[in-house]
Chains A and B, each alone.
Chain A
Amino acid sequence: MLEWLAAYGLPVYFAILVIASAGIPFPITLMVAVAGAFVDAGEMNFWQVVVVGAAGAAIGDNIGYAIGRFGGRRKIDWLAKKIGGKDKIERAEDFSRRWGATGIFLSRWLITPLGPWINITSGLACYSWMRFAVWDLSGELIWVTLYATLGWAFSNRVQAVASIADNLTWLIFGIVATVVMIIILIKINGRRKSGLNRRAGQESV
């Protein structure tokens, strides 16, 4: 893949970012860092790497969103009509409306493993496409700038930078997920206590 990048430059860079952001896994962290190293070597231009990269990634993300919105939504509505669960879908949509922007933005550059999932779920929840696109593009700009700069600064060690960064994003993902689970556990415990108390109260009456 990186040979294609080396041989054909920006078009390959753009195409791979579109495909990978739409959900097909490619080592794109390494690719953006290598593009940054090519900037240092005079092979590529920094602003082109940032602009074309962010555009490619954003287009891929919007493909993911469209798949969720047009491919999955109809099936979900159909299922909800058949077997019920409309309230649950509405709750999920509420959640997406409240946390959507934060989730979209952070999953672009900080918790990147979540990216493709959030694209599809945002589409499924019919989150405003305009807002999705704006938060998505701003997040992707940060992501590309971050890794292109790292690749440019450590241009003789990009493989090191990318392998550490890849592990680090999974570590951050693990920490965030752990914290979320602990919060859910505390909430459930609280609900259990109040629920049992309520029942006990009803019984004693």
Chain B
Amino acid sequence: MPELRDSDRQRFARRRFVIGGILVFLLLFTGYFGWHTVQRARYWREHKDEPIRAWMTIGYIAHSYHVPPPVLKQALGLPANVPDKRPLARIAHEQNRPVEELISLLNETIEAERQQKPPPTPGGGT
């Protein structure tokens, strides 16, 4: 029965076409995320600074930006030599002001501090 054979062949061809399509999509998908992973890794290798976020603590920001913690604490009106492990969100809440204000204050302070003492060059230093 040649008709049956043809329909079989058609069915297999269609199935192969669909799976081939999915495969091409998956290859593109995998390639995209492979490329993205490499890009991310390269980006973070070159950029030591993380944008300041409300969940970060002063110590965290100081560590990330290579700035002494007391400088940042003074900028926020906190005692310079008392250890402070609160995240910015909590500091802002307790100081009754928006966290964005603290972030821009810290950014300005870091900028000023860096003009006095430039940080180690990205990727270099060793």
When C-beta atoms are compared, the residue in chain B nearest to A191 turns out to be B12
Contact in complex: B50, A175 (CB < 8 Å): no
Contact in complex: B44, A171 (CB < 8 Å): no
- Taking the complex as formed, is A174 at the interface, i.e. its CB lies under 8 A from any CB of chain B? yes
- Provide the residues of chain B in CB contact with A157, threshold 8 Å: 44, 50, 64
- Provide the residues of chain A in CB contact with B33, threshold 8 Å: 167-168, 170-171, 174
Q: Which of A37-45, A57-65, A71-79, A89-97 contacts B (4 or more CB under 8 A)?
A: A37-45
Known A-B contacts A41-B60, A178-B30, A196-B8; A3 and B23 likewise in contact (beta carbons under 8 Å):
no
When C-beta atoms are compared, the residue in chain A nearest to B19 turns out to be A185
- Provide the residues of chain A in CB contact with B9, threshold 8 Å: 196
Partner of A5, one of B29, B36, B55, B88: B55
- Taking the complex as formed, is A6 at the interface, i.e. its CB lies under 8 A from any CB of chain B? yes
**Which of A2, A158, A167, A177: most chain B Cβ within 10 A?**
A167
- Provide the residues of chain A in CB contact with B87, threshold 8 Å: 3, 6-7, 43
The CA-CA distance from A189 to B55 in the complex, in Å, is 54
- Provide the residues of chain B in CB contact with A158, threshold 8 Å: 50
Q: How far is the CB of B78 from chain A (nearest CB, A)?
A: 16
Q: How far is the CB of B49 from chain A (nearest CB, A)?
A: 10
Known A-B contacts A163-B44, A174-B30; A196 and B15 likewise in contact (beta carbons under 8 Å):
no
When C-beta atoms are compared, the residue in chain B nearest to A160 turns out to be B44
A interface majority secondary structure: helix
The CA-CA distance from A12 to B23 in the complex, in Å, is 40
Contact in complex: A175, B30 (CB < 8 Å): yes
When C-beta atoms are compared, the residue in chain A nearest to B45 turns out to be A160
Contact in complex: B30, A181 (CB < 8 Å): no
When C-beta atoms are compared, the residue in chain B nearest to A185 turns out to be B19
When C-beta atoms are compared, the residue in chain B nearest to A189 turns out to be B16
Known A-B contacts A185-B20, A185-B23, A203-B1; A171 and B30 likewise in contact (beta carbons under 8 Å):
yes
- Taking the complex as formed, is B82 at the interface, i.e. its CB lies under 8 A from any CB of chain A? no
Contact in complex: A7, B90 (CB < 8 Å): yes
Contact in complex: B36, A167 (CB < 8 Å): yes
Contact in complex: B29, A174 (CB < 8 Å): yes
- Provide the residues of chain B in CB contact with A167, threshold 8 Å: 33, 36-37, 40
Contact in complex: A192, B59 (CB < 8 Å): no
| B-binding residues in A (CB < 8 A) | 2-3, 5-7, 34, 37-38, 41-43, 155-160, 163-164, 167-168, 170-171, 174-175, 177-178, 181-182, 184-185, 188-189, 192, 195-196, 199, 203
Instruction: Enumerate 28 A-B pairs (CB-CB under 8 Å) in ascending A order.
Output: A2-B55, A3-B89, A6-B56, A6-B88, A37-B60, A41-B57, A43-B57, A157-B50, A159-B51, A160-B40, A163-B40, A163-B44, A164-B41, A167-B40, A168-B37, A171-B34, A171-B36, A174-B29, A174-B34, A178-B26, A181-B26, A182-B23, A185-B19, A188-B19, A189-B16, A192-B12, A196-B9, A203-B5
